Amino acid sequence: MENRVVITGLGVVSPIGSGKKIFAGNLFAGVCGIERITLFDASHFSTRIAAEVRDFSPEKVVPGHLLEWFDRFAHYGMAAAKEAVDDSGLNLEQEDPGRIGVIIGTGRGGIAAVEDFYLAWKNGLDFSGTAPFAKYFCGTASSAVAMMLGARGPNNTVMAACASGTIAVGSAFQLLQRGGADVVIAGGCEAPLTLCVFAGACATRAMSTRNDEPERACRPFDRKRDGYIMGEGAGVVVLETLAHAQRRGARVYGEIAGYGMNSDAYHITAPLPDGAGLARAMSDALREARLEPSRIDYLNAHGTSTLLNDKCETAAIKKVFGPSAYRLAVSSTKSMTGHLLGAAGAVELIACLLSMDNNLVPPTINLENPDLPDCDLDYVANKAREKEIRVAMSNSSGFGGHNACIIVKK
């Protein structure tokens, strides 16, 4: 018999605020975290706006002896993991460290460290230590979290582009189901706002160029959308077997009811035009959860604000939900946070759990004129909505054809 799995702790670092409480307040208030880029000179790029994390000081959360060893993306992951564990009430000294796992997703890893290392080398600087070299390894976030917490159980890094965070949580769910751990700290972290990554993203022409109105640039499902907005941050959750959580009297945010993951096997950047891959991931999650589509109260869409994604995802939702699609509350929180790439799915899962906790659906801001007839669902435009949410679904897709879906329930 498979173990039931629950989520008992939340941690978030985001462009609309770091810390669960600040993030939730801004999420439901429709606050936008997209502004002009300050991390580097973007004046020569077609896109000059992004969703930066602006309230974060690694020195406040990362142990001093670990600070220099890790890149900014890992710092974000460590901060979110620390908050999640504190929020869960876990006393790590009373746990078997060999039964505590860590699974973290990232799409770009320590890319900032790669650029810094190259530029320093190009300028003739000599490195006598190994820290700069080690910073860029994609697996350093999961290692850093394990080192910080003393977690000696299963440890892994997921790299599945923009579906990484969701797949990391899904992998943790499956590990706990089969009894491979008692507790798993899982999520995603990303710090991709660097010259190299941004130049490449601009070259794809998939990002918005609404530079004069950054707060209105990300507009999922709107007919005037012109691309996504790149962001950074981290989302981490504490997952436990239900039995373990009950033994210690933990507060439970929700139970993971179902998970689906697959590949389009179609194109390196474009989704299947009919959304069939994402539809299959949703159907698989519903099948595992033993739920009819009509039981879903809220769906946090991948909703990137690109021309292709929004209409393909809408088509996928209609394929799975049928007539009940038009009674479903759907929103894209990327309209506020930007696209956090490998961290997106984990942060959006946290948005779902906070929605269940508060019985509030976060809005899709900047939705003024839906792109009819392709985007004709209830996207909870511009203002949060009171609604009892007992079951929520979170979708993620990524370049290369990655699709993933998680269902959580009260």
Residue 203 has pLDDT above 60, yes or no: yes
**Domain annotation covers residue 252:** no
* Residues 305 and 222 placed together within one structural domain of the fold: no
Smallest Cα–Cα separation from 19: which of 51, 61, 49, 50? 61
**Domain annotation covers residue 253:** no
The domain boundary, picked from 197, 214, 247, lies at: 247
The domain boundary, picked from 220, 247, 274, lies at: 247
* Residues 225 and 287 placed together within one structural domain of the fold: no
**Domain annotation covers residue 278:** yes
**Domain annotation covers residue 362:** yes
Mean pLDDT of the 338-359 span: 98
* Residues 386 and 279 placed together within one structural domain of the fold: yes
Phi/psi at 222 (5° precision): -85, 145
Give the catalytic positions in this structure. Answer: 162, 302, 339
Phi/psi at 10 (5° precision): -130, 140
Cis peptide before 373 (omega within 30 of 0): yes
Q: For residue 84, what pLDDT band results from cuts at 50, 70 and 90?
A: very high
* Residues 242 and 289 placed together within one structural domain of the fold: no
* Residues 195 and 71 placed together within one structural domain of the fold: yes
* Residues 229 and 290 placed together within one structural domain of the fold: no
pLDDT at 153: 98
**Domain annotation covers residue 164:** yes
The total number of structural domains in the chain stands at 2
Work out the number of other CB atoms within 10 angstroms of the CB of residue 1: 4
Q: Residue 127 corresponds to which tokens in the numbers above?
A: 């490195």
The domain boundary, picked from 247, 280, 295, lies at: 247
**Domain annotation covers residue 270:** yes
* Residues 48 and 173 placed together within one structural domain of the fold: yes
* Residues 326 and 196 placed together within one structural domain of the fold: no
Q: For residue 129, what pLDDT band results from cuts at 50, 70 and 90?
A: low
The Cα–Cα gap between 70 and 193 comes to 16
* Residues 224 and 294 placed together within one structural domain of the fold: no
Alpha-carbon Rg for the chain, nearest whole angstrom, is: 20
**Domain annotation covers residue 123:** yes
Residue that is written with structure tokens 């945010």 in the block: 253
**Domain annotation covers residue 100:** yes
**What CATH number does the domain containing 10 carry?**
3.40.47.10
- 265-311 tens-digit pLDDT: 999 988 999 999 999 999 999 999 999 999 999 999 999 999 999 99
Smallest Cα–Cα separation from 297: which of 169, 375, 165, 407? 407
Inter-CA distances, 356 with 87, 221, 361, Å = 17, 24, 8
* Residues 241 and 375 placed together within one structural domain of the fold: no
- 313-340 tens-digit pLDDT: 999 999 999 999 999 999 999 999 999 9
Domain that holds residue 190: 5-247
Q: Do the beta carbons of residue 142 and residue 104 sit within 8 Å?
A: yes
